[in-house]
Structure 1
Amino acid sequence: MAQSDGAAPEAASDESLANEGAGDPNFMTSLARGLQVLRAFSEFRRQLTIAQVSQATGMSRAAARRCLYTLQKLGYVAEDDRRFSLRPQVLALGHGYLSSTPLAVVAQPYLDSVSRTLRESCSIAILDGEDIVYICRSAETRIMSISLIVGTRLPAYCTSMGRVLLAQLPPPALEQYLSTAQLVARTGQTSTSPARLRKILAETRAQGYAMIDQELEVGLRSIAVPIRDLRGQVIASINVGAHAARVSLEEMQTRFLPALQGCAAELGQLLV
């Protein structure tokens, strides 16, 4: 589900967790609830009360309190005047993934080089459900109203990296996405028609890159290409974003696109 500007995706409701684990003896509802609570925090929700956690997750206040108590005992959250916040210990949960993902480990100097050459921000993301997740980033300037960092999630349908990744989905998976994704108009230029998006993704797959013009946020233009491993499988996408007032669409195609394609090719050679 696409989220509003700058917001983290809402955690699944307690009811949806019950449906997810219905009839599955191996499903640990208590663990799922704990992860729900961690996902309730975001850049815009750094401190939460028990009541706010309960509202964000859909679980009862008693369940939210027990989860927060347990997470506090384990060192993942801290309490100050009945308001809870995440502790640095949470970073260990993501570090294991990043340190074991070859692309995230080797990509940074390549991103830095592209960013310095173009004097714009450069990022790599993967597809996770209906969102893209940033796994590596080099920022020359801040180009969005929110701070984009490793771990940031954005809706795939209106981002250049997201469209590159959606374009590579098998037809059944793409149709499933188009039938369930909430295509919300983020700006006046956002494409929200499934038929229109299907056509855009077909063009993206054919031309090998995606470009958006102020569809995610007013004033933001972005261009992205796929990153393929040595077997030719698309594993991520890489983009460059810039202010629309500073960089034209033509410049993105003539100057940014070759730099991205070269970087993607180099990274692909490093991945098995």
Structure 2
Amino acid sequence: MSDARPDYEDDRNFATTLARGLSVLRAFRADDDGLTNAQIAERTGLPKSTVSRLTFTLGCLGYLTQPQRNDRYRPGPTLLAMGHVAAASLSFLDPAHDMMQALADQTGTLVLFAVRDRDKVALMRTWRPQRTSSIWLDVGHRLPIGGSSSGMAVLGSTTRDEFAGLLADHPEAPLDGGTLEDLRQEARAQLIGHGYTVVRNELRYSRNISAVSVPFRSSRLAGPVAFSCGALDDVLPDARIHAEVGPALQRTVHRLQILIGQHGTHAWSSTLND
């Protein structure tokens, strides 16, 4: 399969204005202290005049708030309420909390939960080890699909239809010049052989951080998501990933699958050519 990418933006049913408004909302990050129109324009690539109209409209509808005239925009009450509704689809994170915190404490790594956010994967929850320093990644941080173990886990567990949808969002090509289809097959082989994924050094978006990931599926989500353990290279070398942390992560995710009634169900196909 080539990296030919279906372009849904050319479909007559595609609402461009709606898509631009949603891109404005996606521009906000957890550590932002509000954003100006200029900052939103820079992050979205939209003209500042377009951003001004969109933020005004979103403000009127309660999705954004602007405490004072000409002040920075921040997520509004309507958006926050929608977030709580959306969080209901991630109900498995409640029973996962104690498991993942115990895993973080046991391995001394940052444990995280990531979902695909169009062309990248975004962190939705993190668990930091107690009494041990760890790398710091905030909720909302976005990682490249082809340059992170979380992205590899999502790639390796995608079906053909899910993969076509992923390509439609124009993710970045792997840094080694290969195709995402090649990387998908590489990730699938890792899942079949080990039950977890790692990303090769030459593909990593961050050269000094190592990570290992396991995909997960829920009947309430449309596609695969990932749980990961990450740390600086000296804390999480390859040997420790394969001897300890990768298998521990795999066992923890398997326990979660059993807890929510998915015993014996892998998040990925057992064949390379599905």
Report the TM-score when normalising by structure 1. 0.73
Distance in 2 separating the partners of 1:178 and 1:33: 19
Who is 2:24 aligned against? Answer: 37
Residues 1:67 and 2:54 are matched in the alignment:
yes
Q: Which amino acid aligns with 1:163?
A: M
State yes or no: 1:193 paired with 2:178: yes
Contact kept in structure 2, 1:210 and 1:223, CA below 8 Å: yes
Question: 1:240 & 1:204 partners in 2: Cα distance?
Answer: 16
Query: Retained in 1: the 8 A contact 2:153–2:214?
Result: yes
Q: Compared with structure 1, are the counterparts of its residues 197 and 97 closer, same or farther at alpha carbon in structure 2 (3 Å cutoff)?
A: same
1:268: Cα distance to partner?
A: 0.3
Residue 143 of structure 1 aligns with which residue?
135
Please show how residues 5-84 of structure 1 align to structure 2 within 5 Å: 20=9, 23-24=12-13, 31-42=18-29, 46-54=33-41, 56-57=43-44, 59=46, 61-75=48-62, 76-80=64-68, 82-84=70-72
The aligned counterpart of 1:255 is 244
2:157 — aligned with what?
Answer: 168
In 1, Cα distance between equivalents of 2:42 and 2:212: 37
Report the structure, 1 or 2, having the larger strand content.
Answer: 1
**In 2, Cα distance between the equivalents of 1:92 and 1:142?**
32
Matched length? 243
- Structure 1 residues 59 and 110, CA, compared in 2 at 3 Å: closer, same or farther? same
Is residue 120–residue 240 contact of structure 1 (8 Å, CA) maintained in 2?
Answer: yes
Identical positions, percent: 23
Preserved contact between residue 111 and residue 122 of structure 1 (Cα < 8 Å): yes
What is the match of residue 260 of structure 2?
271
The CA RMSD over aligned residues, in Å, is 3.4
Alignment of 1:230-249 (within 5 A): 235-249=224-238
CA distance in 2, matches of 1:178, 1:107: 30
- Counterpart code for 1:168: S
Q: Secondary structure of 2:198's partner?
A: strand
1:106 lines up with 2:85 in the alignment: no
Residue range with higher mean Cα deviation, 51-60 or 130-139: 51-60
**Partner SS for 2:72:** strand
Deviations along 1:195-233, one digit per CA (max 9) or x if unpaired, are: 762552242232221123651212100111223569xx9
Q: Distance in 1 between matches of 2:151 and 2:214?
A: 10
Kindly indicate whether residue 146 of structure 2 is the aligned counterpart of residue 157 of structure 1: yes
Task: Give CA-to-partner distance per residue, 1:215-253, whole Å, 9 cap, x none.
Answer: 1212100111223569xx984321111110223211111
Tell me if 1:203 matches 2:195: no
**Paired residue secondary structure (2:124):** strand
Q: Identify which of 207, 210, 216 aligns with 1:221.
A: 210
Cα distance between partner residues in 1 of 2:19 and 2:218: 33
Q: Which whole-Å CA distance do the structure 2 matches of 1:57 and 1:127 have between them?
A: 18
Give the 3 Å change call, closer, same or farther, for CA 65–121 of structure 1 in structure 2.
Answer: same
Unaligned runs of 5+ in 1: 1-15, 186-190
Q: Distance in 1 between matches of 2:22 and 2:87?
A: 18
Q: Which residue of 1 aligns with 2:171?
A: 181
The answer for unaligned runs of 5 or more in structure 2 is: 1-6, 262-274
Output one character per residue of 1:99-156: Cα deviation in whole Å (capped at 9) or x when no partner: 2322233221111111111121111222343322323220234425xx331x332111
SS in 1 for 2:150: helix
The alpha carbon displacement at 1:163 in A equals: 0.8
Structure 2 letter corresponding to 1:143: I
3-state SS, counterpart of residue 42 of structure 1? coil
Displacement of 1:55: 5.2
SS in 2 for 1:125: strand
**TM-score, with normalisation over the residues of structure 2?**
0.72
1:70–1:135 Cα change, 3 Å? same
Provide the secondary structure at the position in 2 that maps to 1:127: strand
Residues 108, 137 of structure 1: 8 Å contact kept? no
SS of equivalent to 1:247: coil
